[in-house]
Amino acid sequence: MRTITIPTTDLRVSRLCLGGNVFGWSADRAQSFAVLDAFFEAGGTFIDTADGYSAWVPGNVGGESETIIGDWMAARGNRDQVTIATKVGKLPTSPGLAPANIAACVESSLRRLRTDRIDVYYAHEDDPAVPIADVQSAFDALVQSGKVRYVGASNFTPERLQASLAFAREHAMAGYSLIQDEYHLMERSTYEAGLRPVVEQFGISNLPYYGLARGFLTGKYAAGTTIDSVRAAGASAYLGERGDRVLGALRAIADQRGVTMGATALAWLAQQPTVSTPIASARTVEQLADLLPFGDLELTGDEIAMLDTASA
């Protein structure tokens, strides 16, 4: 799998970032280990999770995904060969970005991940109740201590992101080096019109989540089709004329290239301005296999234009 360097960092990572939100949710421990093994064997080195994954599952408390990933790295002895991103702020029992909460939550994540450092530590969402100065100081302290290499932001408004980045730059702090926000062929306007100008201004990049529109862009969801998936309801929201146009364009390009529609959708995303590494999850090894061709797939200008037009 091709590797890239994330702008404003020295992180050299696989072009695909594996989303860990399914670990401990729709993928049990054995399934998760199988997916992680297959990803690593294919050259995948970048894994994304959060302390809140998967607290929404009955009986879970959060941290299940981190624990599985930590156990897998310990079992395989490969911590130094992978890049780990996790998040703070949305764990139901420890919400928000108060400095004391950030300091406590990073220790819990380090323990669950069975590591001495986190490569990317995101604010999972903004916390307007906490002054920007306090949040930035708390993250800067983690970087200075060596517990965190880089910090990122997720689900911020353009205004708050800009203010946070400007504050960190003015005070020579370790500010947000990257963001993680929803962006894909079915959801373009919010990012392109709002966040992208801020990302461009500060020279950072977006590592988009829901890169496959909750599975819709794989082509397996269609009107009148029932799919056994926890993502089915979210994916079905994209059914309709525009969705049909996008799927038609994806299918035409994928068939011509001999790859999957999912890999084609991720390739479009990776070639958008300010995007570095798309995030996609896989519940099974078979689902992962459909994504792996993206690792070295480059679309032509005509193919990108075709998808731009279909998704407009």
- Give the pLDDT confidence score for residue 228 in this predicted structure: 57
Q: What is the arithmetic mean of pLDDT over 261-278?
A: 98
User: Closest Cα partner for 214 from 233, 195, 227, 228?
Assistant: 233
Tell me the pTM: 0.95
Q: Examine the pLDDT at 232 and tell me if it is beyond 90.
A: no
By three-state DSSP, how is residue 187 classified? strand
Tell me which residue of 138, 130, 70 sits closest to 100, measured CA to CA: 138
Q: Provide, rounded to the nearest whole percent, the portion of the chain with pLDDT above 70.
A: 96
Place of tokens 């459909």: 290
Reported as a pLDDT band with limits 50, 70 and 90, residue 169 is very high
Q: Look at residue 258 and tell me whether its pLDDT is greater than 90.
A: yes
Name the nearest CA neighbour of 132 among 108, 110, 109, 157.
Answer: 157
C-alpha to C-alpha distance for 235 and 108, rounded to whole angstroms: 33
Average pLDDT over residues 287-298: 96
Per-chain mean pLDDT for the chain: 96
Report the pLDDT value the prediction gives residue 221, as an integer from 0 to 100. 77
The C-alpha atoms of residue 284 and residue 168 are separated, in whole angstroms, by 40
CA 42 to chain centre: 19
The pLDDT of residue 138 is above 70 = yes
Q: pLDDT by residue (tens digit) across 14-34?
A: 999 999 999 999 999 999 999
Instruction: With a cut of 80, say whether residue 49 has pLDDT above it.
Output: yes
Whether 121 is a known active-site residue: answer no
Q: How far, in Å, CA of 224 to CA of 221, rounded? A: 9
What structural domains does the chain harbor? 3-311 (3.20.20.100)
Q: What is the pLDDT of residue 229?
A: 56
Rounded average pLDDT over 233-260: 93
Whether 139 shows a pLDDT value over 80: the answer reads yes
Which member of 53, 150, 176, 191 is catalytic?
53
- What are phi and psi for residue 35, nearest 5 degrees? -65, -45
Query: For 63-121, how does the pLDDT look when each residue is reduced to its tens digit (9 = 90+)?
Result: 999 999 999 999 999 999 999 999 999 999 999 999 999 999 999 999 999 999 999 99
Distance CA 22, CA 263 (A): 19
pLDDT at 236: 82
